[in-house]
Structure 1
Amino acid sequence: MIKLGEMQELTVTQKKDFGVYLKSTDSEKSEDKVLLPIKQVPADTEIGDKINVFVYRDSDDKIIATVKRPKLVMGEIAYLKVVQITRIGAFMNWGLEKDLFLPFKEQIGEIKLNGEYLVGLYIDKSDRLCATMNLFKVLRTDSPYKVNDNVKGTVFSLKRGLGATVAVDGKYLGLIHEGEILKPLRPGDVVEVRVSHIKEDGKLDLSLKDAPKLQIDKDGEKILSILIKNKGFLSINDDTDPETINKVLGLSKSSFKKAAGRLMKRKVIEMSRNGIKLLKSNNLPQREKYARGKK
């Protein structure tokens, strides 16, 4: 079956002066074919050859193939530039002769001429390819990832009380929960994250932190580094408010308590009503002593 909006390998079934007709190997319908114009046909192409093409509708609304890969295909997202604005929507440059239509109903916020916007691709009710800024409707939930895999994604939505929605690899839907976000994020930011959980519907829960045990050790190192810079004392403890802990250490209160608890258990620091301080023993530098404690 020939798939609109996708790169696919099709077989040459007919040669004409104006191009070649291509067909999918899994289709038995003779009418299920698409034209690849002669200017796109590779040299010395013969019947039976396979060609990798993108299928879309041309300016005459006819289904046609091209060997060019556009800036956007089905199941992906990309930044595209607005080249024309009309009453019914905008047109975006996606690398093909016919610009991609972004309907007014699929726009989010103000759209400006020459502006670049993050969009996905979908097929409308008239069987035409269109762009949408509502990425929830185009991102997939069938990722190949497992828990604790490290991935890269693009933030495209932020909601108070929920967190940051991310397009992982430009294809898959993921979420960084609000409690995981310690530094400001903005739409368009590229983040390196860890898959912390995979929901039943396939959506990915993401974390900006490493796996729990490793993260606690990293947080402990961070506390030690700041303690050393402050001559071995910080006026924060378990009763300090989360905002102050985040401002001083760049950690959530929960992360601080876990890391500080491990440091106290290893007798690297002690905590009192006044704050936390480094313990000196065996005349070992604190970083070396902590590193030995991790082994």
Structure 2
Amino acid sequence: MPPIGRTARLRVSKSLDFGVYLVDELLGEVLLPKSEVPRGCAVGDWLQVFLYKDSKDVAIATTRTPLATVGTCAYLEVVAVDSVGAFLNWGLPKDLFVPFAEQKRRMEVGRFYTVFVYLDNTGRIAATPRLQRHLSELSEVHRAGQPVELLICGRTDLGYRAAIDDTHLGLLFDGDVFEPIVQGQRYAGFIKELREDGKLTVCLRLDNEESRDALGEQLVAYMRERGGSMAFNDKSPPEQIYKAFGVSKKVFKRALGQLYREKRVLLEEQRVSLVKPTPER
């Protein structure tokens, strides 16, 4: 795997007035500028660095952490546009280049875009908002219930488009959203369904027996902390339920119903109360 655009742990081979040289098996000696050299660094030390190319197309190292690496997605701001493309702030001195040919429509300074970072055919780091060129919409490797990391890419008519583990694209339906969703934010989520057409739908919380049991115990603990009852029931407004427990009303009602069937709670007009244990004789 090419080291450019990724982090690496490299050994210091040489120390000079303008910085230190690090040894990489593929690139050979790579300069870490003096301004980035940690205090007390000496020949033989090992440093964690990010490798990229400077304005002269020469491999260089930095101890800074970029906002994205090759093979990942990120939500980045455009800081400049010229005759060949746009440039994004990704936390390094040299801005990240997006060629015009990769832009769906001309990018604008000051706006944020979800992009995928890749190496172009010359070995230089670049970015593209055309995610489908690098992330697959079809999958044969995912399974329902599988934990994944989601990056929210933008809105669709049905919900939100999400990058899944920086390798696939999926859809988060509006009906599975019960909290404010922010474009460019990463969320822990799950594969909800692998559809017949091979495409993926995702969710932020599973509605299965295990999660219902966990929510049920959460409700029981909530009531115990409040003297054995709570001012919530199956008629409570969805926004109040979400604010208190972080779940949809549908999920809340299913967990509550399970507790009722287990005879652990009493469903009252305005409240839900824990069933008091029968005293032993």
Instruction: Indicate the TM-score class for this superposition, using the shorter chain for normalisation.
Output: 0.5 to 0.7
What CA deviation, in whole Å up to 9, does each residue of 1:232-252 have, x standing for no partner? Answer: xxxxxxxxxxxxxxxxx976x
2:171 paired residue number: 176
How far has the Cα of 1:16 moved from its partner?
3.1
Task: Show the 5 A alignment for 1:144-155.
Answer: 148=145, 153-155=150-152
Relative to structure 1, the CA distance from residue 11 to residue 71 in structure 2 (aligned partners, 3 Å threshold; closer, same or farther) is same
Q: Percent identity?
A: 31
Alignment partner of 1:17 is 2:39: no
Mapped partners of 2:267, 2:109: distance in 1 = 63
Relative to structure 1, the CA distance from residue 126 to residue 291 in structure 2 (aligned partners, 3 Å threshold; closer, same or farther) is farther
Alignment partner of 1:167 is 2:163: yes
Alignment partner of 1:210 is 2:206: yes
Aligned residue type for 1:22: L
TM-score, normalising length: structure 2: 0.63
Aligned residue type for 1:173: H
What CA deviation, in whole Å up to 9, does each residue of 1:117-168 have, x standing for no partner? Answer: 22221111111111211234455999x998535555232145557x643134
1:133 paired residue number: 129
Mapped partners of 1:125, 1:86: distance in 2 = 21
Aligned residue type for 2:268: P
Relative to structure 1, the CA distance from residue 34 to residue 204 in structure 2 (aligned partners, 3 Å threshold; closer, same or farther) is farther
What CA deviation, in whole Å up to 9, does each residue of 1:21-53 have, x standing for no partner? Answer: 2123xx3x6x62312223322233333211111
Kindly indicate whether the alpha-carbon contact (under 8 Å) linking 2:20 and 2:34 is maintained by their aligned counterparts in 1: yes
Relative to structure 1, the CA distance from residue 128 to residue 291 in structure 2 (aligned partners, 3 Å threshold; closer, same or farther) is farther
Mapped partners of 1:63, 1:181: distance in 2 = 45
Kindly indicate whether the alpha-carbon contact (under 8 Å) linking 1:17 and 1:38 is maintained by their aligned counterparts in 2: yes
TM-score, normalising length: structure 1: 0.61
What stretches of structure 1 of length at least 5 have no aligned partner? Answer: 230-248, 267-282
Aligned residue type for 1:67: T
1:238 paired residue number: none
Alignment partner of 1:285 is 2:271: no
How large is the Cα RMSD of the aligned pairs?
4.6
How far has the Cα of 1:215 moved from its partner?
7.3
Mapped partners of 1:137, 1:93: distance in 2 = 22
The count of residues paired between Structure 1 and Structure 2 equals 240
Q: Which has the larger radius of gyration?
A: 1
